[in-house]
Amino acid sequence: MEKNYKKEGKYSYYEAGEGTPIVILHGLMGGLSNFDAVASYFSEKGYKIVIPDLPIYTQNILKTNVKNFAKYVKDFITFKGFERVILLGNSLGGHIALYHTKMYPEKVAGLVITGSSGLYESAMGDSYPKRGDYEYIKKKAEDVFYDPKVATPELIDEVYASVNDRIKLIKTLTIAKSAIRHNMAKDLPKMHVQTCIIWGKNDKVTPPDVAEEFNKLLPNSTLYWIDKCGHAAMMEQPEEFNRLLEEWLTHTHLKAH
């Protein structure tokens, strides 16, 4: 990913491919590399894949909330000169994508959410009480996946470092509160954008009934399940994730021309 990583003005982002822009929003603990498989596949298929670094830990604490992150995404899309984009978000990134779509529907041609927060209160709320307890953090990281081995030692170390960084911890808790405050249940029925919901059947963080609820509330949504898969489908089952996403893009005519 290194060679496609750019820094311009206040933005750092990954970019590859040419064509219809797909802007990908990572989650709270997720880095850009979570989307390696999606980026390498779709950048060869007539899409421009753009993954901005979200200022999750760098914003002023007063701006550390879902609404401000959504505005950041809108400013980034404008900065890139895109008319309309397909937004894809995982976990907190899905919530930011949803909130962005609510605020700026004219910017969004299609929406893809996977393991998204926005409806389910405890998605992040109870995850950070025990600082310093490595085994607890390891278990929490493993719980994100159906197959605990996907939580590599590097990944666990990264999460552990975040949780033991006081500023990051405070911001994480601030975001968790903001996610609860910005619940989307009332907004979703008014959001008519074509939406693809891809969900792991074994997601423990945002359980399957959350996906059902999103599908029920969003007027133009299609729900796809991935078996033996947890909270980060694009990491754990990348081939299946890409296949379903491509099927949906083709079906909704958002496919690259």
How far, in Å, CA of 238 to CA of 144, rounded? 15
For the chain, the straight-line distance linking the first and the last C-alpha, in angstroms and rounded, comes to: 25
For residue 193, give the CATH number of its domain.
3.40.50.1820
Beta bridge partners of 181: none
Query: For helices 166-181 and 153-163, what crossing angle results, to 10°?
Result: 90
Asked if residue 168 has pLDDT above 90, the reply is no
pLDDT value, residue 214: 98
Q: What tokens were used for 174?
A: 């601030």
Total tally of structural domains belonging to the chain: 1
**Tens digit of each residue's pLDDT (9 = 90 or more) over 178-214:** 998 999 999 999 999 999 999 999 999 999 999 999 9
Reported as a pLDDT band with limits 50, 70 and 90, residue 136 is confident
Check: CB of residue 77 under 8 Å from CB of residue 85: yes
- The mean per-residue pLDDT over the stretch 76-86 comes to 97
Structural domain contains residue 140? no
- The mean per-residue pLDDT over the stretch 121-136 comes to 63
Beta bridge partners of 15: 50
Kindly give, in sequence order, each residue whose CB lies less than 8 Å from that of residue 152, ignoring residues fewer than 6 positions away: none
Structural domain contains residue 161? no
Structural domain contains residue 143? no
pLDDT value, residue 12: 94
Residue located via tokens 């996906």 = 211
Q: What tokens were used for 173?
A: 């808790």
Beta bridge partners of 25: 89
Domain that holds residue 109: 2-123+183-252
Asked if residue 51 has pLDDT above 90, the reply is yes
Q: For residue 185, which of 129, 111, 118 has the smallest C-alpha distance?
A: 118
Element (H, E) at 213: helix 208-217
Structural domain contains residue 104? yes
Structural domain contains residue 132? no
Structural domain contains residue 192? yes
pTM of the model: 0.93
Structural domain contains residue 231? yes
Check: CB of residue 98 under 8 Å from CB of residue 184: yes
The most confident of 41-45, 60-64, 118-122, 151-155, by mean pLDDT: 41-45
Query: What is the percentage of the chain residues whose pLDDT exceeds 90?
Result: 71
pLDDT value, residue 250: 95
Structural domain contains residue 13? yes
SS3 of 20, please?
Answer: strand
